[in-house]
Amino acid sequence: MKALLDQNRTLQEKALSGLIKASKTLGLDPTRYENALKTIRPDLFEKRKRSAKKPEKKISSSSASSIEKHPPSRKRVRLLSSKVEKGGLKLSFSGRVDKKWIRHFILERRGRVLYVYDFKNVRIPFSIKRFKGGSFKEIRIAQFDPKRVRVVIEVKKAYNPKLEFKDKTVYITLPYSKKRAEKATTSERKKRGKQSKKVDATIPKYLKRYTVVIDPGHGGKDAGAVGVKRRKEKDAVLAVAKRLKKVLQKRGFKVYMTRERDRFVSLKKRTHFANRKGADFFISIHANAAPNRASRYKSKGLETFFLSPARSERAKRVAALENSADLSDLNRYTKNTLLNVLNREKIIESNKLAIDLQKQILSSLKRKYRGVVDNGVREAPFWVLVGAQMPAVLIEIGYITHPTEGLRLFNPNYQNLLAEGIANGIESYIYHSGM
Ligand SMILES: [Zn+2]
């Protein structure tokens, strides 16, 4: 067990270092991977800190290149006041806010539309502030985490907010209100136009509705793994997939399934289907099996895979298991094709999605169940993920061969918690990526 853990850690460490490097080359934010690496190898960062940061004591946790690019904007500012005036939300800060500090995304949920703005490097002296209004339902401002302030504008109908920056203030337009429009004279409007530089908020006019393709593994002649009491993987994963579909639909997602009943679907058709539907996410659901009868008590836990050509021995074994269903497809893909389809950015995104999913699934299950085992996020060459043009992952929801876990996979409560966890993971990814 110890040896296995050590081996896992080395693999994780390798994967994370690779991702940090790749993120940097692609101009993406490597912080999350660095933090993850920090938890398994804190010593690496101790050394780095000492060698890299001698002259600039004031500046914390930023690379040399970003210091050069934005010298004044690295310090933190405080949000001094927030007011609703002239059809907008006026936020006044103690210093200048860099446009790059702001991330925004939209959520649509049960007839509400939420415009979310996260301000990095900002602190507020209060815990939460709420505004109720006519043209909007509610505005909430809170310290989201030690480094970020989150502003949520909740409205009944989608609109097109604009951000305006002026010295130390940021102005976010609110939905159009007739009363207010009558009050505001033309001169007032002109004045505002001159004083502040308008910045396009790059929020799409239409509301983005995310599409998820759920792929319950196996089906029909292909039973997948067979576990405790001869129960089949294909049935467990279909049940979970159906529950996930319901949960996601309730939250406003558009959902398709590669199969809705017990039928065989080739691996290639599964991702083709997702591409055709223009899916934003491809979630393949599987259950794992112990390599032999003797190890069925030992093998348990959940893991989330993302597609990658890198092969560890363990990943190879799981991949061989999952890939075996459709050998004819496997032959069709040459190594070259695989490398062509895989682009690094997609791997990074799929990895991020896998991290969020794994985390949220575990926390959902642990709320009600004991002995839930985290086998982590791994890369593996799953053929079902090859060719997907969106972030794609494969979740092994547990070992169907384990005496306890195998039965849980058929328990409706357990299945619901799995579904909730997967949905939370997708939402968490959307939040993190600012999609
Ligand atoms: Zn499977």
The ranges assigned to domains in the chain are: 74-199, 211-433
- Nearest CA to 296 out of 369, 205, 403, 368 is that of 403
Q: Residue 235 above 90 pLDDT?
A: yes
CA of 92 to the centre of ligand 1 (A): 54
pLDDT band at 177 (very low <50, low <70, confident <90, very high): low
Q: Which of 422, 424, 421 is nearest to 367 (CA)?
A: 421
pLDDT > 90: what percent of the chain? 34
**399 CA to middle of ligand 1, Å?**
10
Question: Could you tell me which residue, 104 or 56, shows the higher pLDDT?
Answer: 104
Residue 153 to residue 119: CA distance in whole angstroms: 14
Q: Could you give the CA distance from residue 148 to residue 97 in angstroms, rounded to a whole number?
A: 12
Q: How far, in Å, is the centroid of ligand 1 from the Cα of 230?
A: 15
Q: How far is the CA of 372 from the centre of ligand 1 (A)?
A: 20
Q: How far is CA 330 from CA 89, 259, 325, 388, in A?
A: 56, 20, 9, 15
- Which of 303, 288, 316, 305 is closest to 373 using CA atoms? 303
What pLDDT was estimated at residue 74?
58
In degrees, rounded to 5, the angle at the alpha carbon of residue 119 between the alpha carbons of residues 205 and 124 is: 135
What distance in angstroms lies between residue 252's CA and the mean position of ligand 1's atoms? 28
CA 231 to ligand 1 centroid distance, Å: 13
Give the distance (Å) from ligand 1 centre to CA of residue 286. 4
Output the CA 214–ligand 1 centroid distance in Å: 14
pLDDT at 328 > cutoff 60:
no
Measured CA to CA, the distance from residue 41 to residue 17 in angstroms comes to: 11
Q: Does residue 342 carry a pLDDT above 70?
A: no
C-alpha distances out from residue 304 to 83, 318, 394, Å: 44, 11, 6
pLDDT of residue 386: 67
pLDDT value of residue 45:
67
User: How many angstroms is it from 325 CA to the middle of ligand 1?
Assistant: 9
Average pLDDT for 256-277: 92
pLDDT at 55: 42
Q: How far is the centre of ligand 1, averaged over its atoms, from the C-alpha of 225 (Å)? A: 6
Neighbours of ion ligand 1 (CB under 5 A): 217, 224, 286, 322
Q: What pLDDT, on the 0 to 100 scale, is given for residue 37?
A: 72
CATH top class, domain 211-433: alpha beta
Q: What spacing in Å lies between the alpha carbon of 314 and ligand 1's midpoint?
A: 15
* Dist. CA 10 → ligand 1 center (Å): 26
Distance, CA of 60 to CA of 73 (rounded, Å) = 12
Query: Which tokens belong to 56?
Result: 């600039």
Q: Cα of 375 to ligand 1 centre, how many Å?
A: 16
Tell me the CA–centroid distance for residue 218 and ligand 1, in Å.
Answer: 6
Q: By C-alpha distance, which of 259, 238, 248 is closest to 212?
A: 248
Q: Which of 8-17, 200-209, 294-303 has the lowest mean pLDDT?
A: 200-209
Tell me: pLDDT of 350 over 70. yes
Ligand 1 geometric centre to CA of 65 (Å):
45
C-alpha 233 to ligand 1 mean position (Å): 7
Give the model confidence (pLDDT) of 41-68 as tens digits: 777 766 444 444 444 343 333 333 333 3
**What is the whole-number distance in angstroms between the Cα of residue 100 and the centre of ligand 1?**
42
**Range from 18-27, 43-52, 302-311, 396-405 that averages highest in pLDDT:** 396-405
CA 403 to centroid of ligand 1, rounded, Å:
18
- 256 alpha carbon to ligand 1 midpoint, in Å? 19
Fold category of 74-199 in CATH: Immunoglobulin-like (2.60.40)
What is the model's pLDDT at position 181?
A: 42
| pLDDT single digits (tens) 69-89 | 444 445 788 898 888 887 889
Sorting pLDDT into bands at 50, 70 and 90, what band is 7?
low
| The two structure tokens encoding residue 237 | 């994963």
Cα of 259 from ligand 1 centre, angstroms: 14
CA of 380 to the centre of ligand 1 (A): 13
Residue 304 CA to ligand 1 center (angstroms) comes to 12
> Between vectors from CA 162 to CA 161 and to CA 166, what angle results, nearest 5°?
145
- Residue 214 is predicted with a pLDDT of 97
Ligand 1 centroid from CA 370, angstroms: 24
86 contacts: CB under 8 Å, gap ≥ 6:
180, 184, 188, 192
- pLDDT for 432: 74
Q: What is the mean pLDDT of residues 303-314?
A: 69
pLDDT of res. 111: 72
Q: How much distance in Å is there from the Cα of 362 to the middle of ligand 1?
A: 19
